[in-house]
Structure 1
């Protein structure tokens, strides 16, 4: 049995969107869910639900890509003061974008829908595989690769 908690009676979304006044508090399966926005995807059908899952996965993958990008472009200690300031500003913007997307993914998972959770985890996995695992040697950078030999401490 799904465990649900009633929304406060003064909730404006309840009356405006014809909701039943209940919010899931345990994980559940189903394509009738609200992710981040009131009524979306809601009762719009399975296709829109799949689109929502795809967008959650893309956001999670983007978080991993941004994380790898910021790690690979850390400030070199020999850079001039002006270059360090520019790099620092760019890294701050990347970090802000990464954190914003990460919080959106977290809030999406808090819909307690199992499909959303799976989409988020798969998105993080795909993002890490593409950008962080070192499988694709982007622009000659080897960041993120794991060594198994005696040079393990150099990772």
Structure 2
């Protein structure tokens, strides 16, 4: 197995996240790119999700749900990072495209329901990623 330490282009990536995955076939490589795209999309969705309805009487349960969502987002973000560390240009572009489309759909003003004020963008369950 050849390890790359510079970006390369090709379908012969043999270790994106797991050893031996996606393999040598073009179909497996395309499936891996779709998986990285979707993984990045889910990270953006979790970053902008409003899934927890705050209850004033149970802050502990709300905090635990928020912590579980945060841990999930961090774990998925690290998986995307590991995929990009395969140094495959296609994987990098799939990760960037997934994050970009995720932001367009879940974080930008394009699909906001309310046009009055922009304070809705700050009311997510999780704090923004700070890189």
**TM-score with structure 1 length normalisation?**
0.68
CA RMSD in angstroms, aligned pairs only: 2.4
Alpha-carbon displacement from aligned partner over 1:39-70 (angstroms, at most 9, x marks no partner):
11121x1111011000001000110110111x
Q: Work out the CA distance in 1 between the residues paired with 2:67 and 2:3.
A: 36
Matched with 1:41 is 22
Relative contact order, higher structure (CA 8 A, sep 6+): 2
| 1:58 and 2:58 aligned | no
Q: Residues 101 and 89 from structure 1, CA distance in 2 versus in 1: closer, same or farther, beyond 3 angstroms? A: same
Deviation at 1:90, TM superposition (A): 1.0
Aligned residues: 118
Matched, 1:126 2:101: yes
Q: Please tell me whether residue 29 in structure 1 is matched to residue 9 in structure 2.
A: yes
Q: How does 1:66-145 map to 2 (within 5 A)?
A: 66-69=46-49, 72=50, 80=56, 82-137=57-112, 142-143=120-121
What is the distance in 2 between the residues matched to 1:138 and 1:59?
Answer: 25
Contact 1:134–1:142, Cα closer than 8 Å, also in 2: no
Instruction: Extract unaligned runs of 5+ from structure 2.
Output: 123-131
Moved over 4 A (4+): 72-76, 138-141
Q: CA deviation at 1:83?
A: 2.5
Query: Taking structure 2 as the reference length, what is the TM-score of the superposition?
Result: 0.80
Structure 1: runs of 5 or more not aligned: 1-18, 145-155
